[in-house]
Amino acid sequence: MGVTDDLRADCPNCFALCCVALPFTASADFAITKAAGTPCRNLLADHRCGVHSDLRAKGFPGCTVFDCFGAGQKVSRTTFAGHGWRDAAEGDRQRVFSAFMIMRQLHELLWYLAQARTLRPARSLHDRITAAYNKVEGITLSEPDTLLAVDVPAHREEVNELLLRASELTRATVKGKKPDRRGADLMGAKLKGADLAGANLRGAYLIAADLRQADLRLADVIGADFRDADLRGADLTDALFLTQAQVNAARGDKSTKIPDTVTRPAHWGK
């Protein structure tokens, strides 16, 4: 079982939590500075964004990059049973926002585990991966007080051990020596046409890197920073643990190959 719809953002079923809970700092990503817990000035009374169709032109490209992994609708409709933050007392509002931040991290773990249990070379781990998925999913269905007390780092450490092993088993199927650039500073790197198939790019800084026509098949990109990376013509067909947020942050075009677990961003053009 791969990534399911409940791990994808469903904005109509969310009370615009990302537009309120998260802080903004005036920069190239955001046109304004906004404190955590304060509604964005573009937020409408019905929880829709007033400039959603024009976010980049209005100076809010950071909003187009963010992805909650479906945490928004889970907190809005399940954790707090459809009771929105607008109707809550100040203290209860903060509980909603804190729950959202925790839920997003847990849903991110579910996203990675969902991908990991589709990797055939790691099938010896599938039972453990499924057990870990079920454990984290169970936590996401907890009552608010239980959710707010969750030790996310502990669960992340437990899950990461499985993801690392699944990655190793899968990347081992790629012939030849695989580059190990885990956590590497590759900002602005000239990697056009590079053979990065099966590479370990975990946590690598690929900001503004030139990755045109690069081969990133079966490369582990968990946590890699693709902001403004040029992926035109690159092949990420089965890149490991690639998220929607990473794709949204990069630049690509119609020739960029991406997994079916993510959607081609509108700003990439046709």
Would you list the domain boundaries of the chain? 5-22+66-171, 175-270
Rg, the chain, Cα only: 19
Q: How far apart are CA 208 and CA 203, in angstroms?
A: 15
Say if pTM beats, i.e. exceeds, 0.75.
Answer: yes
Percent share of the chain, pLDDT over 70 = 99
Amino acid identity, position 130: T
- The residues near 117 (Cβ < 8 Å, ≥ 6 apart) are 1, 2, 126, 129, 130, 133
Q: How far apart are CA 150 and CA 47, in angstroms?
A: 28
- The residues near 35 (Cβ < 8 Å, ≥ 6 apart) are 23
Q: How far apart are CA 107 and CA 100, in angstroms?
A: 10
Backbone angles phi, psi at 123, to 5 degrees: -65, -20
Say if CB 211 and CB 190 are below 8 A apart: no
Q: What's the pLDDT tens digit per position in 149-199?
A: 999 999 999 999 999 999 999 999 999 999 999 999 999 999 999 999 999
Name which of 93, 168, 69 is nearest 125 in CA terms. Answer: 168
Decide which of 3.40.47.10, 2.40.30.170, 3.10.20.600, 2.160.20.80 is the CATH code for 175-270. 2.160.20.80
